[in-house]
Chains A and B, each alone.
Chain A
Amino acid sequence: MNQPLSHTDAQTVTLALIAVLLPFAAFVINFLVLGKSKATGWVSTLAILASAVLGITVFFKVWDKQVMHVQYLWFTIGTTKLYAGVLLNNLSVLLLALVSVIALPVHIYSTAYMNDDEGYGHYFRYLSFFCFSMLALVVVDNLMLFYAFWELVGFSSYLLIGFWFTRDSAVIANKKAFIMNRIGDIGLLTAIIILFTQYHTFDIAALFGSDGLIVRSVITHGEWVGPVGHIPAVWQYVAFGGIFLAVAAKSAQFPLHTWLPDAMEGPTSVSALIHAATMVAAGVFLLGRAYALFTETELTILAFVGCFTAFMAATIALTQNDLKRILAYSTISQLGFMVMAMGVGAYASSLFHLATHAFFKCLLFLVAGIVIHQVKHIKDDNNLDIDPQNILHLGGLRKKLPLTFIAAIIGGLALIGLPLTSGYLSKDGILIQSFEWSEGRNIFFKLVPTFGLLNTWLTAFYVSRLIIKVFFGEFRLQKMNPHIKIHIGDGSWQYKLPLILLAVCCLFPLFSLNPLLYEDAWLFHGFFQINFLVRSNMYHTIIPALVNVLSIGVMYGAWMLYVKRNTWSVPQTGFLFRMSCNEWYIDKFYNRVIVKFVLILSDTLYWFDIKVVDGLVNLIQSIGIAFSKMAAWFDHYIIDGLLNLLAAVVQGIGDFARRFQRGKVQYYLYSMLLALIVVFILKILIWT
């Protein structure tokens, strides 16, 4: 493991470490020194800027060149030595660079966005802490540490969702998010423990490496046989299940996705960074890390779950009216897409999509943030009682927020996946590969690509709906309240710069010089085992065309529907609509059934504790007391009783005798004489 590193390698690792630790330093400085001062924002921003620069540097040094792995002994437990270290390979440096680069505009944006908030200092503290955890998560080489940062990411997300902790909805949302993530965490922990039991190590490189322990183990005869031991095969499935839970929780896959829409209670900039671009992608990252573990069946399960999630979220997004909620469901849908990609073996495409999605979803959220911020200004200026996030109040903002509008268009097109955008490249890759995957399998497997395809059209529809409702038509708020004053704009450079930066990143050149062929993307080549780079079949041509033509059709339909007000419209009362609007009733089901069940169970157990366990103790106690009372009674009445009886007799006699002693001389005399006379009488009687 510890082969001597060359000078440059050591330098690279150091740079990576610095990139990771800078946000932490910013966090410490903010926490200990700066407090609530506005300087916190700039400290954090500078730190992330430096991190981004270092991240990119490291990226270029490592990408496609070499794998670096450095570790130091952390502690020893029993005979197991735990190492803490850094593992830099294509996957980690990609994420390292991606996270730091995306975090930068969000930081800049936040300095303006959070400017008026009381918790400005807190905000940047948390944000820096999140960046640190996230960056550390991607570079660590050890499952224990991975788990640690995995949870810390969740923790910082918890802090940020509940940032406005005086709002009940926010704190309920962050609790929900943390607990949902906790479910994933224990899954991950279980998986880690299983792997540790099987392989006696926590080292990621040793476990998942190309000739790692997992690759060399097989499942035979119901046993999972590895190089150093074997356990029943079922635990391999449990390990998969654990990792799946972890992924589902972090990346908001069905059935653990419900926290993500609620997590939109946090500041929008946070949603952009954490709940759209980076943290939620950690699940996909974990899939990438642990890819070697999965068997064919397990991958298929992933594909189906991802596909289902994507479809479900897309249908829900169709009918939501909350700006951020639409984007949240869109995120879930896209994440489902990535998971599906992992499942169908499109490993590279999945990560590619992760990268591109990070940019355009972040962009869309920032756009949403600007819109919400501006509408909130209107609301505050005019004392309106409205929800600034409700798209039904908006409209026609393209003239008032021109730059935002352009950014939204770019982001939206990228999300739909039209050519010339980065989304086109990554999405088509996934679709094509999923078709290829289903090739030669039975009809059931065709569902996955079919729904994937369907999904893109749904995406096209809800994105169009969103953009049209917000930016086209006329400002409905003004229509309802004609007197309100409106002076809004794109805002300061802190808003504009991030938008421009991200919008540029959403276009194709960053990833591929050829705007139409995803195979040419450099990112694609960075990952191993890509076996169908050749344009061998018709899918490579038909699918992009099909997707794009139909998407445009759908967008036109949406345009007609919402802008031109054509006659046909979707029935707003149907079962499907209600199902979509209520988010498939999943959350309600959880609250009504599972949460209630747990609460009832805990109440029952508490009742059990009080009544039965404690009751038993009290019963024993009562029996003891009863016994002792009986003994006391016996003691008191029988044993003491005898004594008392004796005493009473004596006393009675005494009392009786005392009656004669009442101090009356004559009485004494009388009795004396009486006695005497009695004696006399007797004497006489005897005598005679």
Chain B
Amino acid sequence: MITLTHFMVVSAGLFCIGLFIIVSKKNAIQVLLGIELMLNAAILNMVAFSRYDRVNNGGQMFALFAIVLAAATTAVALAIILNVYRRYKTINPDEINQLKDQ
């Protein structure tokens, strides 16, 4: 029997991997991938819980919305990354620090 806890453990693992990617990678696209991973971890949770809502299908609905939003986010993020690359010739987020003083 596959319980909710199983799904949540997988989701937690996925989330932590995403987190690790976000924090450690020096490449904006990889960071984006990490974000996607975390999003998917969240979606997995929603989908897992949606089983107990037969009438309204709230979990699935929000999973769908999240997927769509993730697509939009990705599109915008990629556009930003491209722009950043054009301006700074790098996509290392550490080096994009023009807002900092000094």
Direct contact of A and B (CB under 8 A): yes
Contact of A662 with B100 in the complex, beta carbons under 8 Å:
yes
Residue of A nearest to B28 (CB): A665
Interface of A is mostly: helix
Report if B93 contacts A (CB, 8 A).
yes
Verify if A673 is at the interface (C-beta below 8 Å from B): yes
A670 contacts the other chain (Cβ, under 8 Å)?
yes
Chain B residue at minimal CB-CB distance from A670: B23
Instruction: Say yes or no for A661: interface residue by CB 8 A criterion.
Output: yes
Say yes or no: A661 contacts B100, CB within 8 Å. Answer: yes
Q: Is B94 an interface residue (CB 8 A)?
A: yes
Q: Is A669 interfacial (CB-CB < 8 Å)?
A: yes
Asked if B23 and A664 sit within 8 Å, CB to CB, the answer is no
- Produce 1/0 per residue, A644-688, CB < 8 A to B: 000000000000001001111111011001000000000000000
Does B5 sit within 8 A of A, measured CB to CB? Answer: no
Number of interface residues of B (CB under 8 A): 13
A673 B97 Cβ-Cβ under 8 A: no
Complex: A665 Cα to B94 Cα, angstroms: 7
Contact present for B97 and A664 (CB under 8 Å) = yes
Cβ-defined contact, B93 with A665, below 8 A: yes
Smallest beta-carbon distance A653→chain B, Å = 16
Identify which of A663, A665, A673 contacts B19 (C-beta below 8 A): A673
- Are B19 and A664 neighbours in the complex by a CB distance under 8 Å? no
Within 8 Å CB of B98, what residues of A?
A: 663
**Which residues in window 1-30 of B have CB below 8 A to A?**
19, 22-24
Number of chain A residues close to chain B: CB under 8 A: 11
Contact indicator per residue, chain B 77-102, by CB within 8 Å of chain A (1) or not (0): 00000000000000001101111110
Q: Is A666's CB under 8 angstroms from B94's CB?
A: yes
Distance in Å from the Cβ of A437 to the closest Cβ of chain B?
113
Q: Which residues of B contact A663 (CB under 8 A)?
A: 96-100
Choice from A662, A664, A669 contacting B22 with Cβ under 8 Å:
A669
Q: Report whether B93 and A662 are in contact in the complex, using a CB–CB cutoff of 8 Å.
A: no
Which residues from chain B contact A661 at a C-beta distance below 8 Å?
Answer: 100-101
Q: Which residue of A lies closest to B31 (CB)?
A: A666
Taking a contact as CB atoms under 8 Å apart, the answer to whether A666 and B93 are in contact is: yes
User: Does B97 contact A662, Cβ atoms closer than 8 Å?
Assistant: yes
Q: Roughly how many angstroms separate A103 CA and B9 CA in the complex, as a whole number?
A: 144
Give the docked Cα–Cα distance between A673 and B19 (Å): 9
Q: How far apart are the CA atoms of A667 and B96 in the complex, in Å?
A: 12
- Across the interface, name the chain A residue whose C-beta is closest to B99: A663
Q: Are B23 and A669 in contact (CB under 8 A)?
A: yes
Q: A666–B99 contact, CB under 8 A?
A: no
Contact B93 A673 (CB under 8 A): no
Inside 8 A of B19's CB, which chain A residues have their CB?
673
Give every chain A residue within 8 A of B31 (Cβ-Cβ). Answer: 666
Contact A666 B23 (CB under 8 A): yes
Residues of chain A lying within 8 A (CB to CB) of residue B97: 662-664
Counting from the closest, the 3 A-B pairs by CB-CB distance are A663-B97, A663-B100, A665-B93
Where the two chains meet, the residues of A that have a C-beta atom closer than 8 Å to any C-beta of B are: 658, 661-667, 669-670, 673
21 contacts between A and B (CB under 8 A): A658-B101, A661-B100, A662-B97, A663-B96, A663-B97, A663-B99, A663-B100, A664-B93, A664-B94, A665-B93, A665-B94, A665-B96, A666-B24, A666-B31, A666-B93, A666-B94, A669-B22, A669-B23, A670-B23, A673-B19, A673-B23
